[in-house]
Amino acid sequence: MNYNFNDLDIGNYFKDGVEIFVQIDDPPSQRPKMVKLYRDDDLSKIRGILQKKIEMNDTLLFAKKNNRLLAEILRNEEIYNKLNEILDGNILYLVKNSIPDWKFLNVKRNLDYGRTVTLDGIKIAKKRAFEMKQCKITESDKCKNGKIEFSTYENWVKETNLFFTNDMYVENLVKLEVKFEMEQNKSFKFGINSFYNYTEHGKASLEFSEHLEPTADFINAVEYAIESRNPENFKQITEEYGQFIPIEVILGGRAYYEGHKVLKEYSEVKANKGSINISGGPIENRIGIDSTISKGKSNSYQHECTKIIGGQEPESIGNFDEKAWVKSLKDFRNWDCIEFKNPISIFQPLSEKLRKRIILSLGKKIHYSTINNTECNFVKLGEPFMYELRIPHHISTIIHNQDADCNIFATVIDAEENAFNCQILCPPNAKPNLLIYCIQERFREQKCKLKIGWMVIGYYTDLNFILSEFDDMQLKIIKNDLNATSETHYSEHLNFDCISFSGNVPCIGIPVLKTLDFSKISHVIGHRFFNVQEENKVGSYTFSYSLKEHICVKLPKFTFYTLIISNYHDPKAYGISPCRRSTIINRIRNTLTRTNPSTKLNPKYVSLFLTAENNYGPIFPRQISNKVEYINISCDHNSCTCRNNVLNMTENLKYAFFDPEK
């Protein structure tokens, strides 16, 4: 038989242990316990024994009694002190550590767990996303009395979840929760036009942003979600690990006192999915909330019951003893979270490499979308109207962030339902402009009242603004750099996971120029898409046409961007529809049957689509009311290949559309 002598304590092998009474505090705060210990063992070894037998933790220190006083023995001194040196007869005294123990607070209050905003207050996640390895703890003893007032349900949710500072991320989380409750069509009550009186005792601040280490399970869950490229898997992560984690927590106690309030029941809720008004940050989408408030019988007046956070709970909330409660807060073991500061996305503390993979996996989002009204005159044949985009400062900052990889798309309509073509002129280190061409079969001067729609699409580089709902918006952009050639047209098969238009996935195109050759100012770049049936892919077709000379001309150097909308929160906002040719008869019919003037409609982003690859002549889309027609412009060049390839009106021509303002 083999023995492991390294594990054998020879010093204690030939001697018997002594029964010792272990007492916490003097007088004892709880019933003493009897444990067999060895007098000659140092206190660090005794601590190890007591951790197993009485669950001693770091909040307790050994103490030596001297003249009725208990003197604490510091942790780093335990190895130099033996048990028999501190015993008071057969009693071993333990005292509660007066120095706050962040490890104890972390375990008791689950500080390194994610959290979720709810109507009932902060919800702690089921699974642990991070482990707190260290923290900065700053003690204080701040006491303040005040009154909390709120008149909106957003403010109420914010206060209920212990957020008391203005933070854009918090505002967005709160609005998402209210939107979620409305979509569930639930009735809920809370005080509106009400107030709470409170007393707050802030005892310490814990900051741990630089000391969070992700758990292996959390990393594996994120890796799986990235590989799946399914936003629902990220949503599942937030449900299990929380929406956010606070990087600073105020600990102490807060007591709420009776306040007068009016209770209102919010029911019969109607919420526009995907339209919460997220303000600030990189998100400028209209995300507003529409709700119906039921009043009348549901209104009532009552006094609020006292609520306590932290401190020792009284036997009865109605017999609250404030002095006793304040005294109990001297012990850090009674502290609770009374305020969350600087919350960040549950994904933000991950490594930079993993964060970038998350951003790429979720795809691009719409940072900004707007519609501008302006007037212009088209007085010269082939000359475009140049429109400078007035980009808000915070959006301009995002555009200049290379990691965001932003793109601009534009579309135009007018009251007279003319056909227009848009190109982006984006010189290096200069503001982008739109080149707007009025497409006419026969030129005549036009005074147009334009409605210009444009949007900025890119990645969210700040994970705090990838919201917890992880909407179903999935946008992908393909970039094609085209050099100047002798060709008048260019076609290319796009590669995006072999998705075909048979799956009803629309593509929207836009040409972007870095420089403008004014000698070729009348050259317009058109495009369309086609179905590559044998490869089950989509192709893009670009061409250049001179409005002045009425011929196809050589393509310039430009970049062609294709926007692919594979999913959007409103399925009616995108799709593919049949397209008919613009004729005089159709125009008369449109005028007679028009119910919504174009001035009251939003311009859609549209691109033509053919079921097969053919070198037809110049074809341009034209938006009219809720329909799109196409204009087939003649090419006067006898040797041009497109001249002998006329589009038949019976051809299956369609158009892809996208309306982010819907």
Q: Quote the pLDDT of residue 468.
A: 46
Q: How are strands ordered across the β-sheet holding 69-72?
A: 33-37, 18-24, 91-96, 60-66, 69-72
d(CA 324, CA 626): 71
Q: Is the pTM of this model over 0.85?
A: no
Q: Quote the pLDDT of residue 583.
A: 57
280: which 2 tokens? 């600030």
Spans of the chain below 70 pLDDT:
1-16, 150-151, 153, 167-168, 177-194, 258-306, 465-472, 496-504, 534-535, 582-600, 614-615, 635-651
Could you read off the pLDDT of 357-415 as tens digits, one per residue? 999 988 899 999 999 999 999 999 999 999 999 999 999 999 999 999 999 999 999 98
For 472, other C-beta atoms within 10 Å of its C-beta total 17
Residue 107 CB contacts under 8 Å (≥ 6 apart), including other chains: none
| Closest CA relative to residue 357, chosen from 216, 235, 217, 223 | 223
d(CA 68, CA 560): 86
Q: Quote the pLDDT of residue 638.
A: 64
Q: Collapsing DSSP states into helix, strand and coil, what is residue 11?
A: helix
Q: Quote the DSSP letter at residue 42.
A: B
Could you read off the pLDDT of 270-327 as tens digits, one per residue? 444 443 334 444 333 333 333 333 333 333 333 444 688 899 888 877 778 888 999 9
Q: Strand 523-532 vs strand 605-610: parallel, antiparallel, or unpaired?
A: parallel
Please provide the size of the chain in residues. Answer: 662
| Closest CA relative to residue 64, chosen from 86, 37, 40, 42 | 86
| 661 phi and psi angles, rounded to 5 deg | -90, 0
Q: Quote the pLDDT of residue 117.
A: 85
Residue listed under structure tokens 């070894």: 45
For 324, other C-beta atoms within 10 Å of its C-beta total 11
Q: Quote the DSSP letter at residue 484.
A: -
| Closest CA relative to residue 477, chosen from 502, 508, 500 | 508
CA dist list (Å): 375 to 448, 451, 454: 6, 9, 16
Q: Quote the pLDDT of residue 300.
A: 36
Q: Strand 474-482 vs strand 558-567: parallel, antiparallel, or unpaired?
A: antiparallel
Q: Quote the pLDDT of residue 199.
A: 87
